[in-house]
Amino acid sequence: MHGYVGEHKLLAAVDCIIFGFDGWNLKLLLVQRNMDPERNKWSLMGGFIKPSETPENAANRVLEQLTGLKNVYMEQFHVFGKPDRDPVERTLSITYYALIDINQYKEQILQNQRAEWFLLTEIPALIFDHNEMVNLAKRKLRYKAALHPILFQLLPEKFTIPQLQALYEGVYNTNFDDRNFSRKLLSTGLLLKLPEKDKLSSKKGAFYYRLDQTNYTKNFEKFLNLVPNPDKFF
């Protein structure tokens, strides 16, 4: 076979949008670029797809090379394909996103001097169309978090209701009414109360909970009420 003669060839890259939660704040993992153009500017973690790789392989390799992070579940997100998005040469970018518990990976990530967690509210100007990528991924995260208990998986094994609320407030960049939020949350049947309290964060203390996966399917519909009017966020 001779190939498809005369068709337009281009480069394909992957870019990884890694959100993390440290127990109280939602953050984004960025890296300082060490190549031209835009050397030393902040960037998502990315790289070109190699001949033997699927896009998924490339995303995992890039993330591991740049941060030491292995076996992170990433989901394929959106393709960014404006012809001039990379000023050097036409490059399609296939983006991936992940949600991780920062404390679980702290040591590994710190191995790379150029990688850093930024608060979602303090993201700097990024190279190319990376800010657009991050903004679209934030919308996607809001959408998914309103319809599935995915955020629970960002928490440590035991957590308090104020912590979970802080996470939802970070994702939606808003404040939820404390009493409503905690009432709806407990009515999902997804949480098991533990006997211990966290006494560091408030005078009264807050009970720890853990996720109860056994009721997941049965309680799917109740969960859907947790974020009021989800459609206004996406």
What 210-215 contacts at long range (C-beta under 8 Å, 24+ apart), as own/partner pairs, is: 210/157, 210/158, 210/159, 211/149, 211/152, 211/153, 211/155, 215/188, 215/189, 215/190
How many chain residues are in contact with a copy of itself, going by CB under 8 A? 42
Contact 142, 228 (CB under 8 A): no
**Preceding omega of 37 cis (within 30 degrees of 0):** yes
User: How far is residue 134's CA from residue 110's CA, in Å, rounded to a whole number?
Assistant: 22
Strand partners, 80: 93
Which tokens hold the place of 182?
A: 């905690």
The reply to whether 229 sits near a copy of itself by the rule CB under 8 A is: yes
The reply to whether 74 sits near a copy of itself by the rule CB under 8 A is: no
The reply to whether 186 sits near a copy of itself by the rule CB under 8 A is: no
When the beta carbons of 54 and 104 are compared against a copy of itself, the nearer one is 54
Q: x/- string (CB under 8 A) for a copy of itself, residues 136-165? A: -----------x------------------
The reply to whether 4 sits near a copy of itself by the rule CB under 8 A is: yes
> Contacts with a copy of itself in 36-65 (CB under 8 A)?
37, 48-56
The least CB distance from residue 49 to a copy of itself, in Å, is 7
User: Which residue spans within 54-148 are E strands per DSSP?
Assistant: 75-80, 91-101, 115-119
When the beta carbons of 49 and 109 are compared against a copy of itself, the nearer one is 49
The reply to whether 82 sits near a copy of itself by the rule CB under 8 A is: yes
Contact 182, 165 (CB under 8 A): yes
When the beta carbons of 71 and 229 are compared against a copy of itself, the nearer one is 229
Sites of contact with a copy of itself (CB under 8 A): 1, 3-4, 7-12, 37, 48-56, 76, 78-79, 81-83, 87-92, 94, 147, 217, 220-221, 224-225, 229-232
